[in-house]
Structure 1
Amino acid sequence: MSASDQAVTERRPADWVIVLALGLLMGLQPITTDLYVPALPQMQTALGTTPSGAQQTLAVLVLAFGFGQLIWGPVADRLGRRPVLIAGLSLFVLSSLLTMLADDLSVMLLARAAQGASLSAAVVCGRAMVRDLYVPADGARMMARGLTGLGIIALSGPILGGLAAAYLGWRSTLALVGIAGAMTLVFVVTMLPESLPSHRRQSGTSIPTMLRDWWTVSKHPTFRAHALLVSSSYGGLYVYLSCSSFIFINVLGSSRQAFGAYMASISLAYLVGVAICRRLLPHRGLVGTVRVAGLAAGGAALWMLLMSLLTATTSFQPSAAWILPGMWLYGCCHGINQPCGQTGVIAAFPRHAGAASALSGFMLSALAFVIGSALGLTMKHPGWAQSIYPLTLGMAAGALMTSWVAMGRVQRDGTPPHTAH
């Protein structure tokens, strides 16, 4: 262990504080995206828009989330994590209030964009905080523990969202998002200390400085391998978030409560993946653990392709029970990939963890926005909008890409440095 790593060990707060912080900060993202998904068909009707228009409320959030990280990351490297968290979470609460009050699509899109931009502060600082306080090997295990909390939040969110949408209406789901943001803000203000010491902060955040930092980060093969991993893994997940409510509720005839339970089961599969990750990391290491996830992703792709092929070539009419196993397997591999990938993108950059986290998050969000735009076009086609293909083929593509990256790029370039430099 280097002298700087020894200093990190001596000054960090209790592990349970960091685990809880990671669960809340990283968990705010699935709360913002998942909790209102069961209410999307209701929102579509209330705002007088189309399924494609309703999907745009997720697409603009994700795009703003990506661009916001490019700003918050370098600022957090200069000012520290705590002031950025307080500012971002305060804006998140205000924008959440605006989403709850919006009465037309344009106001809703503006509010969701503000929500995504402010949400990015929580996520980028949460990831960077791990590198501030832990060496890479310990950071992966800590991230896995924190993402267990995220999984629990993601497990309860869809169930709560389905019940709220069914009994209180779609606006109640957005109110719950704002409440979660307010609770996280209170925790940060009262419990979470600053993780980035002043001597490791950057001296400036000018555009040339940021561009230079991003260029340095982007050239590193370990960063590229893990950034591709988290982006491709989230890409398939975004397909599920974006179109699953319309397909399960409108095409397969599921109730909102049942759909919330289906989403919760996928979150449970994610939790299983995180538990597998925690068990494998001490024995297989980060790269070996990702290899297991790559195999799982390949299995998920095959299942979803099989469902698509049977539907297209036979009289087979799939139900939710037939589609869910592939989604469970994908959720499990996502639970393995996220702790490893989120740690891998920042492992080589103890002095630029915010910039590395921001650039990775932007890549993830840009890919999700492209996928969302493509899905919006397919959902406008009557033949596809009333079929399972946007979900099954979209998730199969994400799973195949994830498997390719996990079994190739990460195996070659994914080992982070053992010492800070």
Structure 2
Amino acid sequence: MPASARWPRSRNCAQRPPPEKKASDERHHRPRRRLPARPRAPPPRARRRLGRPRPGQPQRVQQRVPGNDHAPRVERHLGPPGARRQGAPPDGAVDDARRACLRGVRDARARGARRLGRLAPHARGDQGSDHDVGHLLRRAGGEPCLRHRDRHPAREGPAGRAGGVSRPGAIPFVWLLPLLLAAQPVATDSYLPALPAIAQQLGSASLSLTVFVLAFGFGQLPCGPLSDRFGRRPVMLSGLACYAVAALACALAPSIGWLATGRALQGFSMAAILVCSRAAVRDLYPAHEGPHVMARGLAGLGVVGLVAPLLGALTVQQWGWRWVLAGMAIYATVLWWLCWRSFHETRASWSAGDAPPARGGVRVVFASQSFRAWASLAAATYGGIFCFLLLSPLVYISYLGLSPTLYGLIPAGGSLVYIGSTTMCRRLLRRLGPVRTVRIGALLSLAGACIQALGCWLAPMSAWPLLLGHAVYVSGHGIHQPCGQAGAVGDLPHQAGRAVSWSGFGMMVVAFAVGQIAASFVDPGFTHGAWPMVVPMGVAGVVIVLIAFLWLPRIHSTFKKEIR
């Protein structure tokens, strides 16, 4: 059959008019309702992370944050129906992140600005406001979000900020922070072995140490407002330069008065260094990441505190006490060069179209309930450990009869325990959050004081209960210090310098007052035994437990009400 006969209508189909549409056809051929688009599959790495949970693990569900339709979804960890919630995010992480995100988005909408440089300092980055808000929300939902954190410019240190282009060989701020905090043990722990030689050559050396401590305590008060007014970088570099000059002047001191004056200037300079370094942590990291960063920095401080006395004793034995102070000057000079290359300005810069930071100075700082709670925690734990450092030489050497060589191992062992406890603090913060972590540290502090009290009661002439209790107390101290120092400035991003200065000043005042009261009960005959050293640590443990279990939970409950 030919092709033309096989398809007779194919030639004329295009010429025929289209058939008329009927009402029944329109009724039966209505367009389909569009179904909502199915969510796209997550990338391979996220698919492995969000896959089917293993038996016994909580299920992950995605929800949106109420009041913010543009924010990315947040992962919630839900257990089986009717069971208790498992895998909950750390205490305070959800509150801080939600509060920061909602406040930042609200301010951005009010000003009509989408640039991230106009958000609050704790929600500021270089990727845009939506990116940083999503980062904080994912952190609030419990996800580590390591990819965003690793490529976040603020996490790479000040060199990645808008303060300037990073120079070749710049050191990240996370590595620079332990060196800055170590200026304190370099100036104190390495100086202690030189006291006998200084007293033999110049006279009484206790005056230089007392003046140094007082200058460090009172020097923090002006350094905080100066760093808030002029920035962290100029105050930091000026403090390091004065530190080096003062140490060099002490090394060339011809009299005890000259030495005391140089040590006073060195204490004031050290206050500027520590205030700016702690305030920079608040500038660069959100409030819930501050304790983790401070724990890493204080771990490095513990390492320097372990090595500094040994190097000081070796230097005094080989070259004399003046070379110990010359070594301090060399350390400060190298650190000044590193900060000049790597430490850029971290304080928020406010342009004409931006909202100015909150003013009020000291009133704003002390009006914050969070500052009062966390600063009290840091002051209480520091007061207890200061009493041990002040009275332990008399108790162990004069009362219990240990040799100075054996006593030198006790602070070294305490430094090792402190390093381990700060490392443990970082892991506990990731799993439990700051409040639960502080509770564990509070129980350790109280348990250490109770062990020492039982030893003084049952075996007053034995050193082992005192040593064991000291190790347990230091374990709690390594948890409280990073949490207390970072938490005191967590709620005050615009007043970070003032908050740091008043927190440090409070620690020094409490330590000095408690130490003087405890030392008044020590007599040459040791009538009270080791109780003057043990009782302040017990009181500090009780105060820490009250703060951790009664005060801090009220603060976080208040934050939850504000968010709702």
TM-score (norm 1): 0.84
Structure 1 residues 356, 9: CA separation in 2 closer, same or farther (over 3 Å shift)? farther
Match of 2:491 in 1: 348
Alpha-carbon displacement from aligned partner over 1:207-265 (angstroms, at most 9, x marks no partner):
xx99x311111121110000001111111222233333454455555555544432121
5+ residue gaps in structure 2?
Answer: 1-100, 105-118, 128-152, 158-170
Q: Aligned match of 2:461 in 317, 325, 329?
A: 317
| 1:94 equivalent in structure 2 | 245
Query: Residue 14 in 1 paired to residue 162 in 2?
Result: no
2:192 aligns with one of 31, 37, 51: 37
Which residue of 428, 432, 451 maps to 1:280? Answer: 428
Q: CA deviation at 1:397?
A: 3.6
SS of residue matched to 1:198? coil
Change (3 A) 1:112 1:300: farther
User: Counterpart in 1 of 2:183?
Assistant: 28
Write the distance in 1 (CA, Å) between the matches of 2:229 and 2:297: 25
Q: Using a 3 Å threshold, how does the CA distance of structure 1 residues 310 and 227 change in structure 2: closer, same or farther?
A: same
Cα distance in 1 for residues equivalent to 2:456 and 2:351: 52
| Corresponding position of 2:476 | 333
Residues 150-184 of structure 1 show CA distances to partners (whole Å, capped at 9, x for unaligned) of 22212222333344455555545444433333332
**Cα gap change, 1:272/1:39 in structure 2, threshold over 3 Å: closer, same or farther?**
same
Contact 2:521 / 2:528 at 8 angstroms: preserved in 1? no
Residues 69-96 of structure 1: CA deviation (Å, up to 9, x unaligned) = 1111111111110100011111112222
Give the letter aligned to residue 469 of structure 2: G
In the alignment, which of 255, 265, 274 is matched to residue 413 of structure 2? 265
Tell me by how many angstroms 1:46 deviates: 5.0
In the alignment, the residues of structure 1 paired with residue 545 and residue 254 of structure 2 have an alpha-carbon distance, to the nearest angstrom, of 42
Compared with structure 1, are the counterparts of its residues 114 and 251 closer, same or farther at alpha carbon in structure 2 (3 Å cutoff)?
A: farther
Return closer, same or farther for 1:253/1:171 CA change in 2, 3 Å cut-off. farther
Gaps of 5+ in 1: none
- Aligned-pair distance for 1:275? 1.2
Cα distance in structure 2, aligned partners of 1:397 and 1:46:
41
Q: What is the percentage of aligned positions where both structures have the same residue?
A: 34
Please identify, of 104-113 and 119-128, the stretch whose mean Cα deviation from structure 2 is larger.
104-113
Residue 364 of structure 1, aligned match among 485, 489, 507: 507
Cα distance change of structure 1 residues 404 and 97 upon mapping to structure 2, 3 Å threshold? farther
Distance 1:168 1:395, change over 3 A: farther
Structure 1 contact 346–356 (Cα < 8 Å) conserved = yes
Counterparts of 1:84-233 in structure 2, within 5 Å, are: 84-102=235-253, 105-165=256-316, 168-199=319-350, 212-233=360-381
Q: Is the 8 A contact 2:213 2:267 kept in 1?
A: yes
For residues 122-154 of structure 1, give each alpha carbon's deviation from its aligned partner in whole angstroms, at most 9, with x where no partner exists. 111111101111111122222222222222212
Q: For 1:259 and 1:75, how far apart are their aligned partners in 2?
A: 41
Residue 517 of structure 2 aligns with which residue? 374
Partner of 1:144, secondary structure, is helix
Rounded to whole Å, the distance in 2 between the matches of 1:344 and 1:154 is: 24
Aligned partner of 1:78 among 223, 229, 250: 229
Cα deviation code 1:331-354 (max 9, x no counterpart): 211111111111111001111111
- Name the aligned partner's letter for residue 462 of structure 2: P
Matches within 5 A, 1:404-415: 404-413=546-555
Return 138-147 or 282-291, whichever deviates more.
138-147
Q: Does the 8 Å CA contact 2:445/2:541 hold for their aligned counterparts?
A: yes
Structure 1 range deviating more: 349-358 or 32-41: 32-41
Shift of 1:385: 9.9
- The alpha-carbon deviation at position 412 of structure 1 amounts to 2.9
CA–CA separation in structure 1 for the residues paired with 2:317 and 2:305 = 19
- Structure number with greater CO (CA < 8 Å, separation at least 6) is 1
Equivalent pairs counted in the alignment come to 405
Which protein is richer in helix relative to its size? 1
Q: Once structures 1 and 2 are overlaid, which stretch shifts more, 326-335 or 39-48?
A: 39-48
Equivalent AA in structure 2 for residue 215 of structure 1: R
Larger radius of gyration: 2
Q: CA separation of 1:97/1:18 partners in 2, compared to 1, >3 Å: closer, same or farther? A: same
- Is residue 38–residue 162 contact of structure 1 (8 Å, CA) maintained in 2? yes
Report how far residue 294 of structure 1 moved.
Answer: 0.3
CA contact (8 A) 2:123 2:286 kept: no
Q: Secondary structure at the match of 1:383?
A: coil
Q: Distance in 2 between matches of 1:231 and 1:416?
A: 23
Distance 1:230 1:170 in 2: 33
Task: Note if contact 1:307-1:323 (Cα within 8 Å) is conserved in structure 2.
Answer: yes
Q: How far is the alpha carbon of 1:362 from its aligned partner?
A: 1.1
Q: Which of these residues, 379, 391, 399, is aligned with residue 533 of structure 2?
A: 391
Deviations 1:259-299 (A, max 9, x none): 44321211111111111111111221111111111001101
Aligned 1:303-314 pairs, distance under 5 A: 303-310=451-458
Q: 1:395 to 1:57 in 2, by over 3 A?
A: farther
